[in-house]
Structure 1
Amino acid sequence: MDGTGGNPGRGEEAAAPETGAAPEESVHGESLDRPLPEGVRHRVVALAAEAFGGLTPAELPAVLRPYARFTPSRRAKFAATALATALEGDPSFRQRVGARLRESEPELCEALDAGTPPPAVDPLDVAAAAYLLRPAGWAKLVAAAGEEAQRVSAERAGEETQRELRQLKAELDEVRTQSRTEAVRVRTELEAARKEAESLQRKLRSAASDVKRAEAALRKVEAELDETRAAAAAEKASADGEARRLRARLAEAEQAVEASRRAAREGRSTEDMRLRLLLDTVLDAASGLRRELALPPRDTLGARPADTVDAVTPGTISPKDIARRALSEDDPALLDQLLALPQSHLVVDGYNVTKTGYPALPLEKQRLRLLGGLAVLAAQSGAEVTCVFDGADLDAPVLLAPPRGVRVLFSKAGETADELIRRLVRAEPPGRPIVVVSSDREVADGVARAGARPVASTLLLKRLARV
């Protein structure tokens, strides 16, 4: 077979002479009185795993055939128990492994056969080879090798222990030295830290005292600052009040001066305007009379006007005839005659007229309707037309574009339209024809005393109805 080293035709019976050991019965004549030492067992399993690859599957025990393709290291790892069992219980397999060992270690095997194992060889290798080859006295060799291996292992372990102990002692000494050094350093640092802490505590107490003094000083300064601010605020308030009073007095003085100047200017311009307007009225009236009467120059007159005046003969003209020729107070023609006078001025009490003629309309539409009629009347008559409305009846400022030829005025706050009308009449020069349209009896009496001609609102409404 392949495992016998070049004798494939030989069977298990021919294996005994190659071992150089006793026949089968001599092998059974010796045995171990105790289990195989662990180190010897590992070395036997390693040798069997190495020789495993040189055997055919037929030469292997059935339990080892699944590991035929494993590497020696994997066989020693995974098939250790199976290999040990096969070597112990299968002499043929053990002899084949021994034959492989003879091929690889011939000197060691010859020395074992001679009963003189070499002293320089590892006792574990000697014991493993004796276990596989089973020479005479192999059990003693295995036991002695196991004891030697244990002794060597114990010595090695003792030496390792001593070495580790010496190392640990050295490390302990070093640690103790470092500990002492560290303790000295720590004590030194602790003493320095204690001194520094005491110094810091003294500084802290000093700083706390300084802070308290600073806080007290700050509170004192804040109190003084508050007092100063209060005094400054009082002085500022007093100064502001005095400044306001002075500004008010200055504004009053400036207003008084401006009012004086304006009054002087307005007084002069108003008087000039009144005189000019009165003069124009007189001249227009005289010119109109001269045209109407077609009077010749005064030098051509043969007699005085008084000479041409006939006295009324009693019984010729009666007062009823004179009354029939006068116009009625509600005749619209009366208003036309009044407006035909030279430089006539028509002043209209706006809401008195609208609330008499069309009170159901909103105020805005009332104003628009009246102003539209007054614009036509101004264009037809050529008279100056002023329409006055009460400003107290306005909910908001009026955006009103007065029609051409009509002046529109609203009374100021706290003033009625009646008072504004009376001021307008007083502003006109005495002798100018002024017609005031209002059904208010108080207004009519007041303007009549001022020289104006009052007419009723119905008269203006009838005249506007003809427009």
Structure 2
Amino acid sequence: MPAHDAPDDLDDEAAVTPAPEPVDLPDSDGGAEPVLPETIRQRVISLAAGAMTGLPLDELPMPLRRVAKFAPNRRARLGGPVIAMQLSGDPLLRQRLATRVVNDAGDLGASILEGVAPPAADPVEVAALAYLARPDGWRDLVERATDAVRAEAQGAAASERVRDVEQRLARAEHDRAVARVEADKLRDELARLRDETAGLREEVRSLGKALRESQAKERKATEMLASEKGRAARATADHDAELRRMRAKLAEAETAAGAQRQSAKDARAVDDARLWLLLETIGQAAVGLRRELALDPTDRLPADFVAEHDADRPENAAGTGAARALDADDPARLDQLLSLPKAHMIVDGYNVTKKGYGELSLEQQRNRLITGVGGLVAQTRAEVTVVFDGAERVVGLPPAPRGVRVLFSKKGETADELIRRLVRAEPAGRPVVVISSDKEVIDGVRRHGAYPLGNDTLLRRLSRS
């Protein structure tokens, strides 16, 4: 009974074939191992690899136990050197494998055991069986089979050489015929070239005559060119004189323009002084008016009143925040506007996020925008309101960062309408920045004194943060 599982690529019939009856094999004569041609050697390894199927592992030498787990074809391919070494050095293993091989060979195996090689038998098969079984006179069988294999190989090589010589002769005959055809073509081509040469000689004579005529014309053209160069030199001198006169006039004009610029600069300095005096007067008047009215500071801003009546807040939302926008994509312009006192920035939420983070889900877009403007509020201390369409409002939105107001438009109203309502609620003169690339929103808020900025301005400012 085998001590290991049959490999997966063995068929069922080979896996259940009963062990052959042992055959009494003659002992080896103890001489030196013969040198086998490669074809016989490979056949010996193949027969031995196939005979290893079904042998218990404990009957195999240690080096062959791992090889025995392969399929026969893999044993011969991967373990050939190991099998050959064990066959030459382990007579007991060779006898066990030869028993199976001889039984499988049938009549040919029986003839080999008797020391007789059938005339019609394959010499490679005869040599392989004789090498494994080693009956009396096995060396003669192996030697005769080796001679037959070598003679067959030499005959095949001789036949191949004969075929090669015949092919070379055929190619030489073909090349000779082609050479004759080419020689005829070359003779025809030579005759044609002689005719062309005669024509070319006549053409050369004609071209020589034309060349002489052209040289005469060239000499005449050279004389005319010299006279034209004299006229051009006189015209250049006149042009240079006119250029000097024009440069003098230009210098006078530049002097006059400099005087005008200085006058304009002095006039602008006077206007700046008047403007500064006016602003100083207005500032002192505002301080006096604030003292006279005695207004208390308020903790509610105009956008908060709009949010109470015309917008929905997300749960846990918080914030105040910031900005007023200009028509520019430079983030520095946004920073300038947010640095104004009491600036308020209103952001068209989805208009910004779908441009900057369109590959994210709506929830991820909202969270990324709110987090980004939260950092902007921390830097500028401006008031910021982010407006989203109410159709996408979700319950349980995370708390907004400090200073950021998050609003959703109510049912029946769009975010654009809520943004315009927030802008109208602000007092005249307060800097209000609206972030949106929607043309209707931009036109609407500009009419109410807000600064519209494209969504690229805010996205670039946030990416810089």
TM-score (norm 2): 0.40
Larger radius of gyration: 1
TM-score (norm 1): 0.40
